[in-house]
Chains A and B, each alone.
Chain A
Amino acid sequence: MTPFVGRRVKRNEDPRLLTGRALFVDDVNLPGMLHVAFLRSDDAHARIASIDATAARARPGVTAVYTAADLGDYWQPGPLLVPPPPIPGVEFHVCTQVPLARDKVRHVGEPLAMVVAESRYVAEDALADIVVDVEPIDAVVDLERALAADAPKVHDHLASNLAARVRQAKGDYAAARAAAGVTIGRRFLYDRGAAVAIENRAVVASWDAQAEELTIWDTTQAPIPIRNGLARMLGLSESQVHVIAPFVGGGFGPKIMMFYPEEVLVPWAARRLGRPVKWAEDRHENFTATTQERGQVHDAEIALTRDGRILGLKDVFLHDSGAYDTYGLTVPINTQCTMLGVYDVPAYDSEFTAVFTNKTLVTPVRGAGRQHGVFVMERLLDLAARELGIDRVEIRRRNLLKPDQFPHDHGIVFQDFTSLTYDSGDYLPALEQAAELIGYQQFVREEQPRLRAEGRHVGIGIVNYVEGTGIGPYEGARVTVEPSGLVRVATGVGTQGQGHMTAFAQMVADVLGVDVADVRVVTGDTRAFHWGTGTFASRGAVVAGTACHGAAMAVRQKILDRASRELGVEPQTLELAGGRVRVRDSADEGIALGALAARANPLRGAVAHGVEPGLEATAYFGPDRGSTANGVHAMIVEVDPETAMTRILKYVVVHDCGRLINPTIVEGQVQGGVAHGIGNAFFEQLVYNDQGQLLNASLMDYLLPLATDVPDVVIAHRETPSPLNPAGLKGVGEAGCIPTGALFAQAVEDALGNRVEILEIPLSPNRLWALVSGGAGFSPPEP
């Protein structure tokens, strides 16, 4: 039988999603359910003098109104989710978010009060009844000014707005600089965007007083940590708390285990009121209350020989933490570690300072800091190529890590607390294939001069990236053969569109010799499987997928053992195929797996000592470290000189995520990631004013790329297996959007005849117009 792994299998989950039957959290409607609306701060930074909810409580249809003062001991700052990695000399100040603001508000959208009412409409009516008296304070918005001695402080008990400072270095940058033929330094900016899952967040909680059990439906990427944390906060046993992350309408990072105020308060209120309670975020709330990413300022310098070989890299950057640093240092550490990319960099000196600002919290958003690192490094190489008169592809080729350098230890610490060590990679063929597919040489030599002669501003770009994926600590899975012959699989990660119900089924189906459609995968339900961490860092397929494979292998062994006893043959003579186990190359029909499962779970007689009933096994997988995927993006772009709008004429991705489970799903991740990256690069920017007000908090003002903006990406796969897991997998979830900003900058710069340096992302037609000739407009292209 042809294996399912590696095939373009149609998704098992699609019929439910296509017919409107798939359950999303906001679809949960329970008898007697109450609805929540939150009163949120209009100020970015203010002292709270008083909150008076008397009138709101008196409004008909309002069940309860809670402020910080009403929460009693339940009012606690949230948990620190990721402690700082073990890097010598790391300075880190923890300030996690609070359920309801008490003395001070620190960003627009921070919740001040919670109204519970018979309907969302009534709850929102009651928000207007609450009287809040605040004394505004100047907001901390700009990253450099945040560190000025006279800057107002986001957290009064700290000495300054410095949240963290981390330096990592290897080699001797000063010596590299002294020996260099050329050094190039610039300041680079990368500003904030929003994740914009089309489904906003939502939480429903229901307390069953008879069973003393709390059921929570939550749009989380990590139901098990949420279950564990909420049980602890609520003083319940973990066995009393059941968290379900059903179908989740896109995650992209912010739906990670945040213990958001709403996530902490809705279950508390449901238990207190003895009625089911629902909160569904609206889009306006999503823009200010759901975490964001990407604000950084880099001062970076690269030192090279005159023939374009990298001797060293120095980078000092500021990272915007937002108002709280609940997710630790994951994002800036990713930036620091991704900067080195696919290149051999002998000396590296990187120091970042994370700062508190009066803006929404920063936590990973698809790419999670990697974009910035790739942007700075690739831009420096572009500038170096121009300075040294070396072709852009050639300067990259000269600096790639070579196959005999793997595993490659960079000598610094990664976000998973292990050394930044690339497991495997083959970078040159990927670069060459991308150059070939985009037609680099032909474009540069023939097409571009011809089009420029016609007056068209066309340019090409090509960039490399790596993505650290598939990090630990572990995931688990349980595989069960049912008497019907159906196979059920349960794993703890949540699913937000990645096709887990198909990819995991493919892995299990191959091991057990069953049809992929007969494998039913359950994700994100703590009753179905209760050990695990969650879906993030492009780790679902790598870590949970490998656990599914391991559990299936253990079940396979049970099948072989039992069948060999029943058939009186040696296990090694047996094969599993077509849902049966039978003697290989024989006419014998063997035994159906379902029948074997029934016999393994008898109602009478004895199950032999030391034998577990049924055909079921649980397995766990924890990789030693993350596996490093890589790829090359290339594009040809045209800039309209009248509107400064860009049009992508061709986009190529050569991608290596190790062995592919389902090429169709991988291509979907890449295509979708590129769309997200295009948004980050050219359409999307969260615009804050100097008082910390978000000026474009709607989808009318914050532009996402549309079907008319995103090209059909040409995708080629390379498969360099990872040695860190049996199937050779690496992750792919974030790959598509990581290098897009760097690529856009290079290609647009080329289209403009290299007359401007593009040192910032996001761009926009307005920004591009301003950059060109200081706003004087476009001059005709020079052929």
Chain B
Amino acid sequence: MSDLVPVRVTVNGATHEHHVEPRLLLSDFLRQHLGLTGTHVGCEHGVCGACTVLLDDEPVRACLMFAVQADGCAIATVEGLAPAGTGELHPLQAAFQDEHALQCGFCTPGILMSMVAFLRDRPAPPSDRDIREALSGHLCRCTGYANIVRAVSKADDALRR
């Protein structure tokens, strides 16, 4: 077994320092070492997108990175999306509920994190085609995507107000 190396990350604003094997995936680090199981693992080869988190504000597949590669980075996961302690949902989460954009909900956390980045700093509202392109990095087996497109569009609207 390989030697452990230190990794220090900020996740949803909290700092964590652990010693881990270099081969530990970021997805397993988040889920097993930090107990943040909202980030889901669907394929471990970078296709399904379920494990998407934000690394220094950019979406990455947590299954395609080692935890040690995230050393010194700020990570955002689905657990940090809604305002803490208020019971309220982030506008994107609320739009997903309003538009029935999730069924089993397993792919949803990754899609939410991708869409947070997608909707950030856009000068103009995205077209449905833009949204579908952005969603094409994610697999959803339940919904057939149409309600996700509607929800993202609605969230964009809400975030602009």
A interface residues, Cβ below 8 angstroms from B: 10-11, 13-15, 17-24, 26-27, 29, 60-61, 120-122, 196-200, 247-250, 252, 280, 282-283, 496-499, 664-665, 667-668, 671-676, 698-700, 704, 706-708, 710-713, 736
The answer to whether the Cβ of B4 comes within 8 Å of any Cβ in the partner chain is no
Interface residues of B in 105-160 (CB under 8 A from A): 105-109, 112, 131-133, 135-136, 138-149
Contact B103 A498 (CB under 8 A): yes
Closest residue to A14 on the B side, CB-wise?
B97
Contact B146 A712 (CB under 8 A): yes
- Cα distance A24–B50 in the bound complex, in angstroms: 13
Contact A283 B43 (CB under 8 A): yes
Between-chain CB contacts (< 8 Å), 9 pairs: A10-B100, A29-B35, A197-B104, A249-B106, A496-B104, A700-B47, A706-B135, A706-B145, A712-B146
Contact A704 B143 (CB under 8 A): no
- Cα distance A754–B136 in the bound complex, in angstroms: 33
Please, which residues of chain B bring their CB within 8 A of the CB of A707?
Answer: 131-133, 135-136, 138, 140, 145, 148-149
Closest residue to B39 on the A side, CB-wise?
A20
Please, which residues of chain A bring their CB within 8 A of the CB of B81?
Answer: 19-20
Please, which residues of chain B bring their CB within 8 A of the CB of A252?
Answer: 141
B interface residues, Cβ below 8 angstroms from A: 1, 21, 23-24, 28, 31-32, 35-45, 47-48, 50, 77-79, 81-82, 89, 93, 96-98, 100, 102-109, 112, 131-133, 135-136, 138-149
The contact of B45 among A60, A122, A283, A708, by CB within 8 Å, is: A283
Give 16 new A-B contacts, CB below 8 A, not counting A14-B97, A18-B97, A675-B145. A10-B100, A15-B93, A19-B93, A20-B39, A27-B31, A196-B139, A198-B50, A200-B42, A249-B107, A497-B103, A671-B143, A672-B143, A675-B144, A676-B144, A707-B133, A708-B132
- Cα distance A318–B135 in the bound complex, in angstroms: 39
Closest residue to B77 on the A side, CB-wise?
A20
Contact B105 A17 (CB under 8 A): yes
- Cα distance A699–B50 in the bound complex, in angstroms: 13
Please, which residues of chain A bring their CB within 8 A of the CB of B144?
Answer: 668, 671-676, 710, 713, 736
Please, which residues of chain A bring their CB within 8 A of the CB of B28?
Answer: 120
Please, which residues of chain B bring their CB within 8 A of the CB of A497?
Answer: 102-105, 142
- Cα distance A711–B38 in the bound complex, in angstroms: 29
Determine which residue in A11, A21, A196, A671 has the highest number of CB atoms from chain B within 10 A of its CB, and name it: A671
Closest residue to A283 on the B side, CB-wise?
B43
Question: What are the 4 closest A-B residue pairs judged by CB atoms, nearest first?
Answer: A20-B38, A249-B106, A497-B104, A17-B105
* B80 vs chain A, min Cβ distance (A): 9
- Cα distance A20–B96 in the bound complex, in angstroms: 13
- Cα distance A575–B6 in the bound complex, in angstroms: 66
Please, which residues of chain A bring their CB within 8 A of the CB of B138?
Answer: 707
Contact B78 A19 (CB under 8 A): yes
Contact B100 A198 (CB under 8 A): no
Contact B1 A664 (CB under 8 A): no
* A256 vs chain B, min Cβ distance (A): 15
Please, which residues of chain B bring their CB within 8 A of the CB of A250?
Answer: 103-104, 106, 141-142
- Cα distance A642–B100 in the bound complex, in angstroms: 37
Contact B108 A713 (CB under 8 A): no
Contact B37 A671 (CB under 8 A): no
Please, which residues of chain B bring their CB within 8 A of the CB of A711?
Answer: 146
Known: A19-B82, A668-B103, A708-B132. A196 touches B97 (CB 8 A): no
Please, which residues of chain B bring their CB within 8 A of the CB of A710?
Answer: 144-146
Contact A24 B40 (CB under 8 A): yes
Please, which residues of chain B bring their CB within 8 A of the CB of A20?
Answer: 36-39, 77-79, 81, 109
Contact B38 A199 (CB under 8 A): no
Contact B50 A708 (CB under 8 A): no
The contact of B37 among A10, A24, A249, by CB within 8 Å, is: A24
Please, which residues of chain B bring their CB within 8 A of the CB of A10?
Answer: 97-98, 100
Please, which residues of chain B bring their CB within 8 A of the CB of A700?
Answer: 45, 47
Contact A122 B93 (CB under 8 A): no
Contact A713 B146 (CB under 8 A): yes
Contact B93 A18 (CB under 8 A): yes
Contact B32 A249 (CB under 8 A): no
Contact B97 A283 (CB under 8 A): no
* B134 vs chain A, min Cβ distance (A): 8
Please, which residues of chain B bring their CB within 8 A of the CB of A197?
Answer: 104, 106, 141
Contact A11 B106 (CB under 8 A): no
- Cα distance A60–B135 in the bound complex, in angstroms: 43
Please, which residues of chain A bring their CB within 8 A of the CB of B109?
Answer: 20
Please, which residues of chain A bring their CB within 8 A of the CB of B50?
Answer: 198
Please, which residues of chain A bring their CB within 8 A of the CB of B104?
Answer: 197-199, 247-250, 496-497
Please, which residues of chain A bring their CB within 8 A of the CB of B133?
Answer: 707-708
- Cα distance A498–B139 in the bound complex, in angstroms: 18
Known: A199-B42, A283-B44, A710-B145. A22 touches B105 (CB 8 A): yes
Determine which residue in B39, B100, B136, B138 has the highest number of CB atoms from chain A within 10 A of its CB, and name it: B100
- Cα distance A704–B105 in the bound complex, in angstroms: 18
Please, which residues of chain A bring their CB within 8 A of the CB of B45?
Answer: 283, 698-700
* A332 vs chain B, min Cβ distance (A): 25
- Cα distance A673–B77 in the bound complex, in angstroms: 30
Closest residue to A247 on the B side, CB-wise?
B105
Closest residue to B145 on the A side, CB-wise?
A707
- Cα distance A496–B104 in the bound complex, in angstroms: 5
Closest residue to A704 on the B side, CB-wise?
B139
Contact B97 A15 (CB under 8 A): yes
Please, which residues of chain B bring their CB within 8 A of the CB of A665?
Answer: 100
Closest residue to A282 on the B side, CB-wise?
B44
* A101 vs chain B, min Cβ distance (A): 25
- Cα distance A282–B104 in the bound complex, in angstroms: 19
Please, which residues of chain B bring their CB within 8 A of the CB of A283?
Answer: 42-45, 48
- Cα distance A61–B50 in the bound complex, in angstroms: 30
Known: A196-B141, A198-B139, A497-B142. A18 touches B48 (CB 8 A): no
Closest residue to A196 on the B side, CB-wise?
B141
Closest residue to B139 on the A side, CB-wise?
A704
- Cα distance A22–B93 in the bound complex, in angstroms: 14
- Cα distance A724–B37 in the bound complex, in angstroms: 43
- Cα distance A711–B128 in the bound complex, in angstroms: 11
Contact A672 B1 (CB under 8 A): no
* B85 vs chain A, min Cβ distance (A): 12
Contact B98 A198 (CB under 8 A): no
Contact A198 B1 (CB under 8 A): no
Closest residue to B110 on the A side, CB-wise?
A198
Contact A26 B35 (CB under 8 A): no
Contact A249 B132 (CB under 8 A): no
Closest residue to B133 on the A side, CB-wise?
A708
Known: A121-B21, A708-B133. A18 touches B102 (CB 8 A): yes
- Cα distance A29–B24 in the bound complex, in angstroms: 17
Determine which residue in B38, B79, B105 has the highest number of CB atoms from chain A within 10 A of its CB, and name it: B105
- Cα distance A248–B148 in the bound complex, in angstroms: 20
Closest residue to B50 on the A side, CB-wise?
A198
Contact A672 B96 (CB under 8 A): no
Please, which residues of chain B bring their CB within 8 A of the CB of A199?
Answer: 40, 42, 104, 106
- Cα distance A27–B78 in the bound complex, in angstroms: 14
Contact B105 A668 (CB under 8 A): no
Closest residue to B38 on the A side, CB-wise?
A20
- Cα distance A252–B106 in the bound complex, in angstroms: 14
- Cα distance A11–B101 in the bound complex, in angstroms: 11
The contact of A21 among B38, B40, B48, B77, by CB within 8 Å, is: B38
Closest residue to A715 on the B side, CB-wise?
B146
Please, which residues of chain B bring their CB within 8 A of the CB of A708?
Answer: 132-133, 135-136
Determine which residue in B1, B23, B31, B104 has the highest number of CB atoms from chain A within 10 A of its CB, and name it: B104
- Cα distance A450–B35 in the bound complex, in angstroms: 60
- Cα distance A674–B148 in the bound complex, in angstroms: 15
Please, which residues of chain B bring their CB within 8 A of the CB of A198?
Answer: 40, 42, 48, 50, 104, 106-107, 139-141
Contact B1 A676 (CB under 8 A): no
Contact B106 A61 (CB under 8 A): no
Please, which residues of chain B bring their CB within 8 A of the CB of A704?
Answer: 139, 141
Please, which residues of chain B bring their CB within 8 A of the CB of A21?
Answer: 38, 79
Closest residue to B46 on the A side, CB-wise?
A700
* A713 vs chain B, min Cβ distance (A): 7
